[in-house]
Amino acid sequence: MNHSEVLNLTRALLAIDTIDPPGNEETAAKIVAEMLEAEGIACRFQEIAPGRTNLIARVKGSGERPALSMSAHFDTIGVDPVTWTRNAFSGEIEDGRVYGRGATDMKGGMAAMAMAAIEIKRAGMPLLGDLVLHFTAAENSSLLGAKALVEGGHFDGVGALLNSEPSSMRLFVTEKGTAWIRATASGDTGHSAFRDGETGDRGNAIVRLARFIDRVHDLDLKAPHHRHLRPPTINPGVISGGLATPLTPPRAVCDIDVRLVPGLEAEAVLAAFRTVAGPDIALELLDSKPPVDTPDDHPFVQLCLAALKDETGYPGGPEGVPYYSDCAVVAPVLNLPMVIIGPGEVGHSGRPDEYCEIDKLEASVRVYRTIAERYLA
């Protein structure tokens, strides 16, 4: 059976295990670069760690307009083979879908962006600005690849960001940010058998932490209303503590993910947590990523919206999404408009039997090409 070029590239990428950690993105980057360079598109690599490589590819324009960035990441989250009904790295095709870890998030979107650049290069259309592919490593490791691209000046001259995170071929202009907070509870070391006359938490760090988690889980962060996003969420994600079953635990730790909306900053969340923490809970901000929000009426948003409607008949308008992307460390720093359009299914990232619908995959190539041509030509 003959498959489209974008489907073949997607399957080639799905065949490579780029689970983070360790990533192994260099192998995938070389496959994409080989295909692009065969079409005369200049590529360069940026190594951020052994075997972990960013790819920057450029279709040159005349320099009369700012460049357009198309971004995607190579790495994926892990696979539990017990929960999959098929090989996660086979690129299996069935019922109009291509299956594999990363099909939705986001090797399908990456392949479509690469193919859009190739089609533009083949057409020989003169561009007023560069079309730049920013394909990153280590997105799941706190966006390390994108941070390295910014620090290396690889976004210099860019005027707008188009990202292919999963959107079900809808158009997102807003994404939530994150605050990762560590709560550490202190207790008293000792044997539990000799605390039978005590009341309250009996110096137990795990009990103290559990009670804090219960208080903080439904805490009202008093976030401002946002036109596209639901209120922030608080998720205790990882917990550890204790020395042995019969001992009073002297220490317990919980790492908490808070999804931020525009107008709510990480420091404000930390301050709100302190109001319910008590003297035995220490709080630390581990990491934060700001929300990204582009006005609905921004010219780039309207250009992308028109292209999406022309190519797919998309009836909606700009929307928002609760995940974050590489754009979180690019758009706010460089004050760039951001739009997310991706062929992958929203909410399917990391699921067993992850897939991308082939008609959406192929439609995304047309959409990306139309956006690039209208923005740059």
Q: Which of 289, 308, 335 is the last residue of a domain?
A: 289
How many Å apart are CA 365 and CA 39, to the nearest integer?
16
CA–centroid distance for 128 within its chain: 30
Per-residue pLDDT, averaged over 351-357, amounts to 97
**Secondary structure class of 267 (helix, strand, coil):** helix
Q: Phi/psi at 370 (nearest 5 deg)?
A: -60, -45
Per-residue pLDDT, averaged over 94-105, amounts to 97
**Tokens (6 digits) for 79:** 């696979």
Q: Which pLDDT score, from 0 to 100, does residue 377 have?
A: 87
Q: Looking at the structure, do residues 319 and 359 belong to the same domain, yes or no?
A: yes
Q: Which pLDDT score, from 0 to 100, does residue 312 have?
A: 95
Number of CB atoms found within 10 A of residue 256's CB: 23
Q: Looking at the structure, do residues 39 and 138 belong to the same domain, yes or no?
A: yes
pLDDT at 159 over 60: yes
Give 196's pLDDT tier (boundaries 50, 70, 90): confident
Share of the chain above pLDDT 90, in %: 94
Which of 26-35, 56-65, 192-201 has the weakest average pLDDT?
192-201
Q: Looking at the structure, do residues 182 and 168 belong to the same domain, yes or no?
A: no
Q: Looking at the structure, do residues 275 and 333 belong to the same domain, yes or no?
A: no
Per-residue pLDDT, averaged over 233-242, amounts to 97
How many Å apart are CA 67 and CA 83, to the nearest integer?
43
Q: Looking at the structure, do residues 221 and 202 belong to the same domain, yes or no?
A: yes
Q: Looking at the structure, do residues 46 and 191 belong to the same domain, yes or no?
A: no
For 237, residues 6+ apart whose C-beta sits below 8 A from its C-beta are 255, 256, 257
Q: Which of 267, 289, 311 is the last residue of a domain?
A: 289
Q: Which of 270, 289, 308 is the last residue of a domain?
A: 289
Q: Looking at the structure, do residues 247 and 160 belong to the same domain, yes or no?
A: no
Q: Which pLDDT score, from 0 to 100, does residue 95 have?
A: 96
CA-closest candidate to residue 161, choices 355, 290, 293, 4: 293
How many Å apart are CA 213 and CA 345, to the nearest integer?
32
Q: Looking at the structure, do residues 343 and 220 belong to the same domain, yes or no?
A: no
Q: What residue type is assigned to position 80 of the chain? A: D
Question: In this predicted model, what pLDDT tens digit does every residue of 12-52 receive, in sequence order?
Answer: 999 999 999 999 999 999 999 999 999 999 999 999 999 99
Query: Which residues are bridge partners to 175 per DSSP?
Result: 292, 321
The parent domain of residue 54 ranges over 5-175+291-376
Using CA atoms of 118, 119, 121, 125 in order, give the dihedral in degrees to the nearest 10.
-160
Number of CB atoms found within 10 A of residue 373's CB: 18
Q: Which pLDDT score, from 0 to 100, does residue 192 have?
A: 79
How many Å apart are CA 100 and CA 301, to the nearest integer?
31
How many Å apart are CA 23 and CA 17, to the nearest integer?
8
Q: Which pLDDT score, from 0 to 100, does residue 163 have?
A: 98
How many Å apart are CA 115 and CA 99, to the nearest integer?
19
Q: Looking at the structure, do residues 43 and 160 belong to the same domain, yes or no?
A: yes
Q: Looking at the structure, do residues 69 and 102 belong to the same domain, yes or no?
A: yes
Number of domains in the chain: 2
Query: Which residues are bridge partners to 32 per DSSP?
Result: none
Positive/negative CA dihedral, 245, 246, 247, 248: positive
Q: Which pLDDT score, from 0 to 100, does residue 2 have?
A: 66
Question: In this predicted model, what pLDDT tens digit does every residue of 296-310 receive, in sequence order?
Answer: 999 999 999 999 999
Q: Which pLDDT score, from 0 to 100, does residue 3 have?
A: 83
How many Å apart are CA 235 and CA 223, to the nearest integer?
16
Share of the chain above pLDDT 70, in %: 99
Q: Looking at the structure, do residues 41 and 108 belong to the same domain, yes or no?
A: yes
CA-closest candidate to residue 283, choices 261, 255, 257, 258: 255
How many Å apart are CA 66 and CA 342, to the nearest integer?
23
In sequence order, what E strands does the chain have?
42-49, 52-59, 67-73, 93-94, 97-99, 131-136, 158-163, 172-175, 177-186, 190-191, 234-241, 247-248, 251-260, 281-289, 292-293, 319-321, 338-340, 355-357
How many Å apart are CA 43 and CA 23, to the nearest integer?
20
Q: Which pLDDT score, from 0 to 100, does residue 194 have?
A: 77
Q: Tell me, what DSSP letter sits at residue 19?
A: B
How many Å apart are CA 102 and CA 358, to the nearest integer?
14
| pTM of the predicted structure, to 2 decimals | 0.94
pLDDT at 1 over 60: no
Which of 127-136, 195-204, 255-264 has the weakest average pLDDT?
195-204
How confident is the prediction for the chain on average, in pLDDT? 96
Q: Which pLDDT score, from 0 to 100, does residue 193 have?
A: 77
pLDDT at 210 over 80: yes
